[in-house]
A and B are shown apart, each in its own frame.
Chain A
Amino acid sequence: MADLAQSCDVLVAGGGNAALCAAITAREAGATVLLAEYAPCDFRGGNSRHTRNFRVMHGAPTATLTEAYGEDEYWDDLRRVTAGETDEALARLTIRGSAAAMPWMERHGARFQPSLTGTLSLSRTNAFFLGGGKALLNAYYRAAERLGVSILYGAEVRELHLRDGAIESVAVDIGGTTATVRAKSVVVASGGFQANIDWLRQYWGPAADNFLIRGTPYATGRVLRNLLDQGVMPVGDPTQCHAVAIDARAPKFDGGIVTRLDAVPFSIMVNRDGRRFYDEGEDLWPKRYAIWGRLIAQQPDQIAYAITDAKALTLFMPTMFRAITAASVGELAGKLGLDAAVLANTVRTYNAAVRPGAFNDKVFDDCRTEGLTPPKSHWAQPIDTPPYHAYPLRPGITFTYLGVKVDDRARVLMTGGRATRNLFAAGEIMAGNVLGRGYLAGFGMTIGTVFGRIAGVEAATHACH
């Protein structure tokens, strides 16, 4: 083992939003900082490169945010989506920290775009990065370089040697050579384990092989596994992940936002056997977006098909992959490799169950089925206008919930509750402390930014005093 004896005050493991916030903050606090990013430069930034906004508390309208979004409303939103699987103290710390984060972000090159007319309902709660997460990361990397943070690309943190509640040294693989880094403090900001199919298979069995990973292939969870194996306290359900339904034609990794499909409420969803399996019109799509990954994961071969017709094609966001199109349902079944008779029967039965109503895609309308199992509660229109369209869908994994337990100083806790002395965590690796289940748009970036800054200050303070 090469011992480069790379010594620095603070080693940051990871290269996404949380890692950069920690590295910049620690450097500005006077520490020498080494940042080890597993990905090569072109793919740096973890899942942050696929993000678009962060959720920010604010008391009054700003240049880019409308109205106000107070602490209590923010906390209510979080409590609702997590169904209580959160830590109120840490959650409120995160929420309050989001307000202070925004000017800090702007000082370090973050650019926000004004809410454009007719854009998202999120313009009140979420600040949008001009150009998205990769543009934000470009700015942060430049800021870090300017400040003198040493950045290693293609550097995988493999082992953290933890003894008596402190990290003694860290093994980092750089281009096939293992180097030992001695740092006074270590910040782990290396993400979850969603790109580790073997690990997912432990909970999901062979179904995991059919999962698509929406983000970075470098989130292998190696640091997380290594720490949990050494008695660090876990947080979050290890079996759970945020899974949405995405186009099955997406690449295995890194397909990002463009592989999403919003066609479900305006379609019927059938499985490999050509049969429906869940109410496609149960709730407004943004609220049901995240359940369909799991629903499809439970279907044979983890595949489903959204079947719709010419009427529906313009009701949802344009898609990267074009619809598979046919003049008849039977022909469509052939193109999808489904049993034509079964699919035709599914469509016929559904059409017969559709009750007439006034279609309105913006509200809970009265277009529903009657006497059908499972029902379609809203937006049900007969599928009868050729050409017929289909999209294949698979589960797309965004992130995992398992993480390390931290305190309000971002210190990693050992099982039993004792804090480690020089180990801090930020970002997805500890997001489960605050977001134990569910999803809140832009909140991952908030956790990463707030805890990244806390971890950076704490790590530098520990190292320099």
Chain B
Amino acid sequence: MHATDAVAEARRMMEICNACRYCEGYCAVFPAMELRREFSNADLSYLANLCHDCRGCFYACQYAPPHAFDLNLPRTFAQVRTETYEAYAWPGVLARLFRHNGVVVSLIAAVALAAVLLLTTALQVPVVLYGVHTGPGAFYAVVPYGTMASVGLSTFGYALFALAMGFARFWRDAAAGSPRAKPSALWRALCDVAVLRNLSGGGYGCNDRDESFSGLRRWLHHAMFYGFLACFAATSVATIYHHVLRWIAPYPPLSAPVVLGTLGGLGLLLGTSGSFALKFVRDPAPGAPELLGADTAVLVLLALVAATGLLLLGLRASGAMGPLLVVHLGFVLAFFLVLPYSKFVHGVYRFGALLRYAAERASGGVRRPPAGEQ
């Protein structure tokens, strides 16, 4: 991580926080901070990605603005996080996509959608595109299976590879000097991800909207995260059906792919729309307004993927199936394309930070000086 203004500001704040430590009950950032006396650029990259933006520390802070010390950890860490996305992006030449990321994500989505639409209308006769198709292979009458699978697999595969490279870059830099992560640490980190332990504000909830506590954001994120996993599971099951059992989509309403996909789609829709709304009703003070575009762009894209998927399911027996399938696949393609170059990467680095934290906790090798009297 390079020295930037945001990194320097994060260092200034951490040095104040480390002399205070009142917030150590909120999340992992503060116990991790307490293991250090000095904060390298890499340390700050690690700590910024460990921050889940629960904002508890902002409202509890006796030094929050307008105090002269001007501590606003959630905002500064959000800025540093975005810089780390750029610093660890693979390949490096595409790192610039993280600048004006809201616009970038929107443009890629528009281009992907337009490309899929244009290609289908160019290659498919209207009578097929707008026709009613039922029975096995209905979807593939509109978009051939081979095309769908090869484009999907190659773009998603690329995204996963690019994310893995990003993770490797994060781990080399921001986790340099970390103790070896044993299986127990890996398990702990996975549990932290699964329950979003660090969005529980020490057990009482986060400051989702203002200084009052709520678990809303955590539940909305759960809806998105598990919704996404359910959709992924639906696709995986469908792949097995297709290749192993030779059952060809569409599947009946009570089949595993449809049930998983429906639940996943509803979860995604609920989670994204709720999170989107929350961004506009919450207190802007601890946020970084310049990141609003990037944050909302991915929410809207995910919501569109989910909404078109659900619509497709509902109207698959009608003549709207063809156009809806094309639009849905367009948004899915956009999602795969922007995956490594948008807010979605936060999950990869957050996991990396949690893994390092779990490893540091397990090693327990750093002595904590006793905090004295008030």
| A interface residues with partner B (beta carbon < 8 Å) | 42-43, 49-53, 111, 113-114, 116, 118-122, 128-135, 138, 142, 251, 254, 256-260, 262, 285-286, 289-290, 314-320, 322, 398, 439, 441-442
> Given the interface contacts A116-B24, A258-B20, does A317 sit within 8 Å of B369 by beta carbon?
yes
Assess whether B57 is interfacial by the CB under 8 Å rule.
yes
In Å, the complex CA distance between A439 and B59 comes to: 28
> Given the interface contacts A318-B15, A319-B19, A320-B19, does A50 sit within 8 Å of B62 by beta carbon?
yes
In Å, the complex CA distance between A314 and B370 comes to: 12
In Å, the complex CA distance between A292 and B371 comes to: 18
- Are the CB atoms of A130 and B20 closer together than 8 Å? no
In Å, the complex CA distance between A427 and B202 comes to: 29
By CB atoms of chain B within 10 A, which of A118, A122, A128, A314 has the most? A118
Minimum C-beta distance from A243 to chain B (A): 13
- Stretch of B63-71, B120-128, B259-267, B319-327 lying at the A interface: B63-71
Give the nearest-CB partner of B34 in chain A.
A318
- Are the CB atoms of A260 and B26 closer together than 8 Å? no
Choose among B20, B67, B202, B213 the residue that contacts A113 (Cβ–Cβ < 8 A).
Answer: B202
Minimum C-beta distance from A227 to chain B (A): 27
Assess whether B290 is interfacial by the CB under 8 Å rule.
no
A-B contact pairs, 23 of them (CB 8 A): A42-B67, A49-B62, A50-B62, A114-B25, A116-B31, A131-B22, A131-B25, A131-B57, A135-B60, A138-B60, A254-B67, A256-B20, A257-B19, A259-B19, A260-B19, A286-B372, A289-B372, A289-B373, A290-B373, A316-B369, A318-B18, A319-B19, A439-B373
> Given the interface contacts A116-B24, A257-B19, does A133 sit within 8 Å of B369 by beta carbon?
no
Give the nearest-CB partner of A48 in chain B.
B62
Chain B residues 18 to 68 lying within 8 A of chain A, measured CB to CB, are 18-20, 22-26, 31, 37, 56-57, 59-63, 66-68
Give the nearest-CB partner of B204 in chain A.
A111
Chain B interface mostly: loop
- Are the CB atoms of B62 and A133 closer together than 8 Å? yes
Chain B residues 216 to 246 lying within 8 A of chain A, measured CB to CB, are none
A251 contacts across to B, CB distance below 8 A: 68
In Å, the complex CA distance between A286 and B69 comes to: 26
A50 contacts across to B, CB distance below 8 A: 62, 374
Choose among A258, A290, A441 the residue that contacts B19 (Cβ–Cβ < 8 A).
Answer: A258
- Are the CB atoms of B19 and A318 closer together than 8 Å? yes
Assess whether B283 is interfacial by the CB under 8 Å rule.
no
New contact pairs (9) apart from A131-B23, A257-B20, CB-CB < 8 Å: A53-B374, A114-B25, A119-B371, A134-B61, A138-B59, A285-B372, A314-B37, A315-B369, A317-B372
In Å, the complex CA distance between A286 and B24 comes to: 21
In Å, the complex CA distance between A320 and B15 comes to: 6
Assess whether B212 is interfacial by the CB under 8 Å rule.
yes
Closest 9 CB pairs between A and B?
Answer: A131-B60, A113-B25, A132-B22, A135-B60, A258-B19, A320-B19, A318-B18, A138-B211, A130-B25
Minimum C-beta distance from B96 to chain A (A): 35
In Å, the complex CA distance between A122 and B370 comes to: 10
- Are the CB atoms of A132 and B368 closer together than 8 Å? no
Choose among A118, A120, A122, A132 the residue that contacts B23 (Cβ–Cβ < 8 A).
Answer: A132
- Are the CB atoms of A111 and B372 closer together than 8 Å? no
Assess whether B16 is interfacial by the CB under 8 Å rule.
yes
A49 contacts across to B, CB distance below 8 A: 62
Contact with A along B146-162 (1 / 0, CB 8 A): 00000000000000000
- Are the CB atoms of B67 and A320 closer together than 8 Å? no
In Å, the complex CA distance between A289 and B371 comes to: 12
B368 contacts across to A, CB distance below 8 A: 118-119
Minimum C-beta distance from B116 to chain A (A): 49
In Å, the complex CA distance between A133 and B20 comes to: 12
- Are the CB atoms of B370 and A121 closer together than 8 Å? yes
In Å, the complex CA distance between A320 and B24 comes to: 17
Minimum C-beta distance from A367 to chain B (A): 19
In Å, the complex CA distance between A131 and B211 comes to: 12
In Å, the complex CA distance between A351 and B90 comes to: 56
A257 contacts across to B, CB distance below 8 A: 19-20, 22, 62, 374
Give the nearest-CB partner of A142 in chain B.
B212
A441 contacts across to B, CB distance below 8 A: 373-374
A52 contacts across to B, CB distance below 8 A: 22, 374
Minimum C-beta distance from A282 to chain B (A): 16
A118 contacts across to B, CB distance below 8 A: 368
In Å, the complex CA distance between A101 and B331 comes to: 57
- Are the CB atoms of B62 and A134 closer together than 8 Å? yes
In Å, the complex CA distance between A118 and B24 comes to: 12
A135 contacts across to B, CB distance below 8 A: 56, 59-60
In Å, the complex CA distance between A260 and B19 comes to: 8
Choose among A134, A286, A317, A439 the residue that contacts B60 (Cβ–Cβ < 8 A).
Answer: A134
In Å, the complex CA distance between A458 and B22 comes to: 34
In Å, the complex CA distance between A398 and B26 comes to: 27
In Å, the complex CA distance between A250 and B368 comes to: 25
A289 contacts across to B, CB distance below 8 A: 372-373
Give the nearest-CB partner of A64 in chain B.
B25
Give the nearest-CB partner of A134 in chain B.
B62
In Å, the complex CA distance between A94 and B288 comes to: 45
Minimum C-beta distance from B298 to chain A (A): 30
B60 contacts across to A, CB distance below 8 A: 130-132, 134-135, 138
A133 contacts across to B, CB distance below 8 A: 62
In Å, the complex CA distance between A318 and B369 comes to: 9
By CB atoms of chain A within 10 A, which of B22, B68, B368, B374 has the most? B374
Contact with A along B59-96 (1 / 0, CB 8 A): 11111001111000000000000000000000000000
In Å, the complex CA distance between A129 and B60 comes to: 10
Choose among A256, A258, A262, A315 the residue that contacts B372 (Cβ–Cβ < 8 A).
Answer: A262
- Are the CB atoms of A130 and B26 closer together than 8 Å? yes
Give the nearest-CB partner of A214 in chain B.
B374
In Å, the complex CA distance between A53 and B25 comes to: 13
- Are the CB atoms of A130 and B204 closer together than 8 Å? yes
- Are the CB atoms of B374 and A317 closer together than 8 Å? no
Give the nearest-CB partner of B371 in chain A.
A120
Contact with A along B191-209 (1 / 0, CB 8 A): 0000000000110100000
In Å, the complex CA distance between A357 and B110 comes to: 74
- Are the CB atoms of B374 and A51 closer together than 8 Å? yes
> Given the interface contacts A111-B202, A314-B37, A316-B369, does A142 sit within 8 Å of B211 by beta carbon?
yes
Chain B residues 297 to 330 lying within 8 A of chain A, measured CB to CB, are none
B63 contacts across to A, CB distance below 8 A: 256, 258
Chain B residues 341 to 374 lying within 8 A of chain A, measured CB to CB, are 368-374
A320 contacts across to B, CB distance below 8 A: 15-16, 19
- Are the CB atoms of B25 and A442 closer together than 8 Å? no
B23 contacts across to A, CB distance below 8 A: 131-132
- Are the CB atoms of A256 and B37 closer together than 8 Å? no
By CB atoms of chain A within 10 A, which of B69, B213, B371 has the most? B371
In Å, the complex CA distance between A458 and B114 comes to: 73
A319 contacts across to B, CB distance below 8 A: 19
In Å, the complex CA distance between A53 and B371 comes to: 13
In Å, the complex CA distance between A441 and B62 comes to: 19
In Å, the complex CA distance between A49 and B24 comes to: 16
Give the nearest-CB partner of B372 in chain A.
A286
B37 contacts across to A, CB distance below 8 A: 314, 318
Minimum C-beta distance from A308 to chain B (A): 15
In Å, the complex CA distance between A188 and B58 comes to: 30
Minimum C-beta distance from A100 to chain B (A): 22
- Are the CB atoms of B18 and A442 closer together than 8 Å? no
In Å, the complex CA distance between A116 and B30 comes to: 12
A290 contacts across to B, CB distance below 8 A: 373
